[in-house]
Structure 1
Amino acid sequence: MKIFIMRHGEAGYCATGDADRPLTELGKNESVSVLKQANDIQKISVDKVLVSPYLRAQETWREIADYIDTRSIETCDDITPYGKADRVFDYLMVLADIEKVNSFFLVSHLPLVGYLTSEFVREMTPPMFPTSGLICLDYMPETQRGELLWRLSPK
Protein backbone atom coordinates (compact mmCIF):
# COMPACT_ATOMS: atom_id res chain seq x y z
CA MET A 1 0.00 0.00 0.00
CA LYS A 2 1.40 3.41 -0.99
CA ILE A 3 0.85 6.33 1.35
CA PHE A 4 1.83 9.90 0.57
CA ILE A 5 1.78 12.36 3.46
CA MET A 6 2.17 16.09 2.82
CA ARG A 7 2.28 19.03 5.14
CA HIS A 8 0.42 22.09 3.84
CA GLY A 9 2.34 24.99 2.31
CA GLU A 10 3.51 28.06 4.18
CA ALA A 11 0.58 29.97 5.65
CA GLY A 12 0.14 33.56 6.74
CA TYR A 13 -0.84 34.64 10.22
CA CYS A 14 -3.55 37.22 9.47
CA ALA A 15 -6.74 35.29 10.14
CA THR A 16 -9.57 35.12 12.65
CA GLY A 17 -8.31 31.75 13.89
CA ASP A 18 -5.84 28.98 13.17
CA ALA A 19 -8.22 27.10 10.88
CA ASP A 20 -8.63 30.19 8.67
CA ARG A 21 -4.96 30.90 7.90
CA PRO A 22 -4.48 31.15 4.11
CA LEU A 23 -1.45 30.07 2.10
CA THR A 24 1.14 32.64 1.18
CA GLU A 25 2.33 32.93 -2.42
CA LEU A 26 5.52 31.16 -1.33
CA GLY A 27 3.40 28.37 0.15
CA LYS A 28 1.54 27.94 -3.11
CA ASN A 29 4.72 27.93 -5.20
CA GLU A 30 6.62 25.55 -2.92
CA SER A 31 3.74 23.07 -2.83
CA VAL A 32 3.64 22.92 -6.62
CA SER A 33 7.44 22.66 -6.76
CA VAL A 34 7.42 19.63 -4.45
CA LEU A 35 4.75 17.88 -6.53
CA LYS A 36 6.77 18.50 -9.69
CA GLN A 37 9.79 16.93 -7.97
CA ALA A 38 7.65 13.99 -6.88
CA ASN A 39 6.37 13.41 -10.40
CA ASP A 40 9.99 13.24 -11.57
CA ILE A 41 10.36 10.24 -9.24
CA GLN A 42 7.00 8.65 -10.09
CA LYS A 43 3.65 9.77 -11.43
CA ILE A 44 1.42 10.04 -8.37
CA SER A 45 -1.81 8.14 -8.75
CA VAL A 46 -3.83 7.24 -5.66
CA ASP A 47 -7.20 5.74 -4.85
CA LYS A 48 -8.13 8.31 -2.19
CA VAL A 49 -7.06 11.80 -1.14
CA LEU A 50 -7.80 13.03 2.39
CA VAL A 51 -7.49 16.76 3.10
CA SER A 52 -7.75 18.61 6.40
CA PRO A 53 -10.66 21.07 6.55
CA TYR A 54 -8.28 23.90 7.55
CA LEU A 55 -8.00 26.59 4.87
CA ARG A 56 -4.24 26.23 4.33
CA ALA A 57 -4.59 22.48 3.66
CA GLN A 58 -7.57 23.00 1.35
CA GLU A 59 -5.64 25.66 -0.59
CA THR A 60 -2.59 23.39 -0.78
CA TRP A 61 -4.77 20.67 -2.29
CA ARG A 62 -6.20 23.09 -4.85
CA GLU A 63 -2.66 24.09 -5.88
CA ILE A 64 -1.40 20.51 -6.32
CA ALA A 65 -4.55 18.69 -7.49
CA ASP A 66 -3.53 18.79 -11.16
CA TYR A 67 -0.40 16.78 -10.34
CA ILE A 68 -2.21 13.84 -8.72
CA ASP A 69 -4.53 11.30 -10.31
CA THR A 70 -7.22 10.11 -7.92
CA ARG A 71 -10.69 8.65 -7.95
CA SER A 72 -11.85 10.03 -4.59
CA ILE A 73 -11.27 13.19 -2.52
CA GLU A 74 -12.52 13.62 1.04
CA THR A 75 -12.26 16.42 3.57
CA CYS A 76 -11.33 14.64 6.79
CA ASP A 77 -11.91 16.33 10.16
CA ASP A 78 -9.54 13.87 11.86
CA ILE A 79 -6.38 15.14 10.14
CA THR A 80 -6.21 18.61 11.69
CA PRO A 81 -3.04 19.61 13.61
CA TYR A 82 -4.02 17.80 16.78
CA GLY A 83 -5.70 14.78 15.26
CA LYS A 84 -4.85 11.42 16.77
CA ALA A 85 -2.40 9.49 14.59
CA ASP A 86 -3.59 6.09 15.84
CA ARG A 87 -7.22 6.95 14.96
CA VAL A 88 -6.23 8.16 11.49
CA PHE A 89 -4.15 5.01 10.97
CA ASP A 90 -7.12 2.84 11.98
CA TYR A 91 -9.42 4.82 9.67
CA LEU A 92 -7.07 4.29 6.72
CA MET A 93 -6.90 0.57 7.46
CA VAL A 94 -10.71 0.37 7.51
CA LEU A 95 -10.89 2.21 4.17
CA ALA A 96 -8.27 -0.16 2.77
CA ASP A 97 -10.32 -3.15 3.89
CA ILE A 98 -13.89 -2.04 3.20
CA GLU A 99 -13.42 0.24 0.18
CA LYS A 100 -10.39 -1.66 -1.16
CA VAL A 101 -8.27 1.51 -1.12
CA ASN A 102 -4.66 0.62 -1.91
CA SER A 103 -3.13 4.10 -1.96
CA PHE A 104 -3.67 7.36 -0.11
CA PHE A 105 -2.51 10.97 -0.35
CA LEU A 106 -3.01 13.11 2.77
CA VAL A 107 -2.65 16.89 3.11
CA SER A 108 -2.36 17.70 6.79
CA HIS A 109 -0.38 19.50 9.51
CA LEU A 110 2.33 19.25 12.12
CA PRO A 111 2.47 17.50 14.48
CA LEU A 112 0.06 14.92 13.04
CA VAL A 113 2.05 14.26 9.85
CA GLY A 114 5.10 13.20 11.88
CA TYR A 115 3.18 10.99 14.29
CA LEU A 116 1.23 9.40 11.45
CA THR A 117 4.45 8.57 9.64
CA SER A 118 5.57 6.71 12.76
CA GLU A 119 2.33 4.76 12.84
CA PHE A 120 3.25 3.29 9.46
CA VAL A 121 7.01 2.99 10.05
CA ARG A 122 7.07 1.93 13.71
CA GLU A 123 10.83 2.04 14.18
CA MET A 124 10.99 5.63 12.90
CA THR A 125 11.02 8.62 15.22
CA PRO A 126 8.30 11.08 14.14
CA PRO A 127 10.06 13.19 11.50
CA MET A 128 9.80 16.95 11.24
CA PHE A 129 8.12 18.14 8.07
CA PRO A 130 8.92 21.51 6.52
CA THR A 131 5.96 23.32 5.01
CA SER A 132 5.13 21.61 1.70
CA GLY A 133 7.19 18.59 2.79
CA LEU A 134 6.12 15.27 1.27
CA ILE A 135 6.98 11.67 2.03
CA CYS A 136 6.13 8.43 0.30
CA LEU A 137 5.69 5.26 2.34
CA ASP A 138 5.12 1.65 1.43
CA TYR A 139 3.05 -0.22 4.01
CA MET A 140 2.28 -3.93 4.06
CA PRO A 141 -0.88 -4.51 6.15
CA GLU A 142 -0.34 -8.27 6.21
CA THR A 143 3.00 -7.88 8.05
CA GLN A 144 2.20 -4.50 9.65
CA ARG A 145 5.54 -3.19 8.38
CA GLY A 146 6.20 0.10 6.67
CA GLU A 147 9.14 1.60 4.84
CA LEU A 148 10.03 5.18 3.96
CA LEU A 149 10.61 5.22 0.19
CA TRP A 150 11.46 8.89 -0.30
CA ARG A 151 11.13 12.33 1.19
CA LEU A 152 10.98 15.75 -0.51
CA SER A 153 11.23 19.34 0.66
CA PRO A 154 10.89 22.60 -1.24
CA LYS A 155 14.08 23.69 -3.01
Structure 2
Amino acid sequence: MQLFLMRHGEASYLAHSDRERTLTDTGRYHTGEVSNWLAKSVTEFDLVLVSPYLRAQQSWQEVSKHFPEPRKWIVLDDLTPSSDPSTAADLTLAYAEQYKADNVLVIAHMPLLGYMVSELVRGVEPPLFATSGLALIDKHGEQCSLMWQHTPHSIS
Protein backbone atom coordinates (compact mmCIF):
# COMPACT_ATOMS: atom_id res chain seq x y z
CA MET A 1 0.00 0.00 0.00
CA GLN A 2 1.12 3.53 -0.72
CA LEU A 3 0.03 6.02 1.92
CA PHE A 4 0.25 9.68 0.91
CA LEU A 5 0.10 12.13 3.81
CA MET A 6 -0.62 15.73 2.86
CA ARG A 7 -0.90 18.87 4.90
CA HIS A 8 -3.60 21.32 3.91
CA GLY A 9 -2.62 24.42 1.94
CA GLU A 10 -1.77 27.77 3.47
CA ALA A 11 -4.79 29.14 5.34
CA SER A 12 -5.92 32.56 6.47
CA TYR A 13 -6.08 33.36 10.17
CA LEU A 14 -9.20 35.50 9.65
CA ALA A 15 -11.89 33.15 10.93
CA HIS A 16 -14.21 32.70 13.90
CA SER A 17 -12.43 29.47 14.85
CA ASP A 18 -9.49 27.32 13.79
CA ARG A 19 -11.97 24.87 12.26
CA GLU A 20 -13.31 27.59 9.89
CA ARG A 21 -10.01 28.89 8.48
CA THR A 22 -10.06 29.03 4.66
CA LEU A 23 -7.30 28.54 2.11
CA THR A 24 -5.54 31.59 0.80
CA ASP A 25 -4.97 32.03 -2.94
CA THR A 26 -1.38 30.90 -2.33
CA GLY A 27 -2.66 27.83 -0.47
CA ARG A 28 -4.90 26.89 -3.41
CA TYR A 29 -2.07 27.48 -5.88
CA HIS A 30 0.52 25.40 -3.99
CA THR A 31 -1.95 22.57 -3.38
CA GLY A 32 -2.73 22.55 -7.10
CA GLU A 33 0.97 22.52 -8.01
CA VAL A 34 1.72 19.61 -5.67
CA SER A 35 -1.33 17.73 -6.99
CA ASN A 36 -0.26 18.29 -10.60
CA TRP A 37 3.24 17.01 -9.77
CA LEU A 38 1.81 13.96 -7.97
CA ALA A 39 -0.56 13.14 -10.85
CA LYS A 40 2.49 12.45 -13.02
CA SER A 41 3.24 9.31 -10.97
CA VAL A 42 -0.08 8.37 -9.32
CA THR A 43 -3.13 7.75 -11.51
CA GLU A 44 -5.77 7.45 -8.80
CA PHE A 45 -6.54 7.07 -5.10
CA ASP A 46 -8.63 4.17 -3.86
CA LEU A 47 -9.33 5.88 -0.54
CA VAL A 48 -9.15 9.49 0.60
CA LEU A 49 -9.43 10.47 4.27
CA VAL A 50 -9.88 14.17 5.02
CA SER A 51 -10.02 16.27 8.17
CA PRO A 52 -13.37 17.96 8.83
CA TYR A 53 -11.66 21.37 9.07
CA LEU A 54 -12.55 23.72 6.21
CA ARG A 55 -8.97 24.28 4.98
CA ALA A 56 -8.45 20.51 4.62
CA GLN A 57 -11.78 20.16 2.80
CA GLN A 58 -10.78 22.96 0.43
CA SER A 59 -7.39 21.32 -0.10
CA TRP A 60 -9.16 18.10 -1.10
CA GLN A 61 -11.25 20.11 -3.57
CA GLU A 62 -8.02 21.35 -5.18
CA VAL A 63 -6.41 17.89 -5.20
CA SER A 64 -9.54 16.25 -6.63
CA LYS A 65 -9.27 18.37 -9.79
CA HIS A 66 -6.19 16.31 -10.75
CA PHE A 67 -7.49 12.79 -10.09
CA PRO A 68 -10.52 10.66 -10.90
CA GLU A 69 -13.12 10.21 -8.15
CA PRO A 70 -11.71 7.79 -5.53
CA ARG A 71 -13.58 4.58 -4.79
CA LYS A 72 -14.26 5.97 -1.31
CA TRP A 73 -13.62 9.23 0.49
CA ILE A 74 -14.37 9.88 4.12
CA VAL A 75 -14.35 12.93 6.36
CA LEU A 76 -12.67 11.62 9.50
CA ASP A 77 -13.08 13.49 12.80
CA ASP A 78 -9.84 11.88 14.06
CA LEU A 79 -7.71 13.92 11.63
CA THR A 80 -7.76 17.28 13.41
CA PRO A 81 -4.60 19.10 14.61
CA SER A 82 -4.92 17.83 18.18
CA SER A 83 -6.09 14.28 17.37
CA ASP A 84 -4.26 11.30 18.81
CA PRO A 85 -1.67 10.18 16.21
CA SER A 86 -1.82 6.53 17.21
CA THR A 87 -5.60 6.48 16.75
CA ALA A 88 -5.34 8.38 13.46
CA ALA A 89 -2.72 5.96 12.11
CA ASP A 90 -4.68 2.90 13.25
CA LEU A 91 -7.91 4.21 11.71
CA THR A 92 -6.14 5.04 8.45
CA LEU A 93 -4.77 1.50 8.18
CA ALA A 94 -8.11 -0.04 9.22
CA TYR A 95 -10.02 1.92 6.57
CA ALA A 96 -7.37 1.02 3.97
CA GLU A 97 -7.82 -2.65 4.81
CA GLN A 98 -11.61 -2.41 4.87
CA TYR A 99 -11.72 -0.85 1.40
CA LYS A 100 -8.79 -2.91 0.05
CA ALA A 101 -7.04 0.32 -0.88
CA ASP A 102 -3.63 0.31 -2.55
CA ASN A 103 -3.29 4.11 -2.83
CA VAL A 104 -4.50 6.10 0.16
CA LEU A 105 -4.44 9.88 0.55
CA VAL A 106 -4.79 11.54 3.96
CA ILE A 107 -5.26 15.32 4.11
CA ALA A 108 -4.80 16.68 7.62
CA HIS A 109 -2.73 19.03 9.81
CA MET A 110 0.43 19.58 11.81
CA PRO A 111 1.43 18.36 14.29
CA LEU A 112 -0.74 15.28 13.67
CA LEU A 113 0.86 14.31 10.34
CA GLY A 114 4.40 14.40 11.70
CA TYR A 115 3.43 12.20 14.63
CA MET A 116 1.55 9.82 12.32
CA VAL A 117 4.76 9.31 10.34
CA SER A 118 6.65 8.37 13.51
CA GLU A 119 3.77 6.05 14.56
CA LEU A 120 3.89 4.24 11.23
CA VAL A 121 7.62 4.19 10.47
CA ARG A 122 9.82 2.80 13.23
CA GLY A 123 12.74 4.98 14.26
CA VAL A 124 11.67 8.07 12.32
CA GLU A 125 11.43 11.33 14.25
CA PRO A 126 8.24 13.29 13.52
CA PRO A 127 9.00 15.37 10.42
CA LEU A 128 7.64 18.85 9.83
CA PHE A 129 5.18 19.27 6.97
CA ALA A 130 5.10 22.55 5.09
CA THR A 131 1.65 23.71 4.01
CA SER A 132 0.70 21.64 0.93
CA GLY A 133 3.60 19.35 1.88
CA LEU A 134 3.37 15.68 0.99
CA ALA A 135 5.02 12.46 2.16
CA LEU A 136 4.86 8.90 0.88
CA ILE A 137 4.90 5.93 3.21
CA ASP A 138 5.22 2.54 1.54
CA LYS A 139 3.65 -0.32 3.55
CA HIS A 140 4.41 -3.96 2.83
CA GLY A 141 2.99 -6.32 5.43
CA GLU A 142 3.91 -4.88 8.80
CA GLN A 143 6.90 -2.94 7.42
CA CYS A 144 6.47 0.78 6.66
CA SER A 145 9.12 2.97 5.03
CA LEU A 146 9.18 6.71 4.51
CA MET A 147 10.01 6.94 0.79
CA TRP A 148 10.08 10.71 0.32
CA GLN A 149 8.74 14.01 1.55
CA HIS A 150 8.25 17.12 -0.59
CA THR A 151 7.19 20.73 -0.23
CA PRO A 152 5.67 22.87 -2.97
CA HIS A 153 9.10 24.49 -3.40
CA SER A 154 11.03 21.21 -3.70
CA ILE A 155 8.99 20.01 -6.69
CA SER A 156 9.31 23.14 -8.83
Secondary structure of the residue aligned to 2:78 is helix
The yes-or-no answer on 1:11 pairing with 2:21 is no
Structure 1 residue 58 corresponds to structure 2 residue 48: no
Deviations 1:61-92 (A, max 9, x none): 11111223421111110000011111112212
1:98, distance to aligned residue in structure 2 (A):
3.2
Which stretch shows the higher mean deviation, 7-16 or 113-122? 113-122
Q: Percent identical across equivalent pairs?
A: 38
CA RMSD of aligned residues (A): 1.3
Unaligned runs of 5+ in 2: none
On the 8 A contact 1:121/1:146 being kept in 2, the answer is yes
Alpha-carbon spacing, 1:12–1:120, altered in 2? closer, same or farther (3 Å): same
Q: Counterpart of 1:129 in structure 2: which amino acid? A: F
User: How do residues 38-117 of structure 1 correspond to structure 2 at under 5 angstroms?
Assistant: 38-40=38-40, 42-69=41-68, 70-117=70-117
Matches within 5 A, 1:113-132: 113-132=113-132
Change (3 A) 1:75 1:148: same
Letter in 2 for 1:146: C
Distance 2:120 2:18 in 1: 28
Q: Deviations over 1:17-70 (max 9, x none)?
A: 000000000000000111112223x12422110010101000111111122342
Do 1:139 and 1:146's aligned partners in 2 also have CA atoms closer than 8 Å?
A: yes
> Does residue 145 of the first structure (1) align with residue 143 of the second (2)?
yes
Structure-2-length-normalised TM-score: 0.91
Question: Contact 1:120/1:146 (CA < 8 Å) preserved in 2?
Answer: yes
CA deviation profile, 1:94-126 (whole Å, cap 9, x unmatched): 223333233310100000010111122111100
TM-score by length of 1: 0.92
Work out the number of aligned pairs and report it.
152
Output the amino acid matched with 1:100: K
Name the CA distance, whole Å, in 2 between partners of 1:112 and 1:44.
Answer: 26
8 Å Cα contact 2:31-2:132 kept in structure 1:
yes
Give 1:30's aligned residue. Answer: 30
How far has the Cα of 1:129 moved from its partner?
A: 0.4
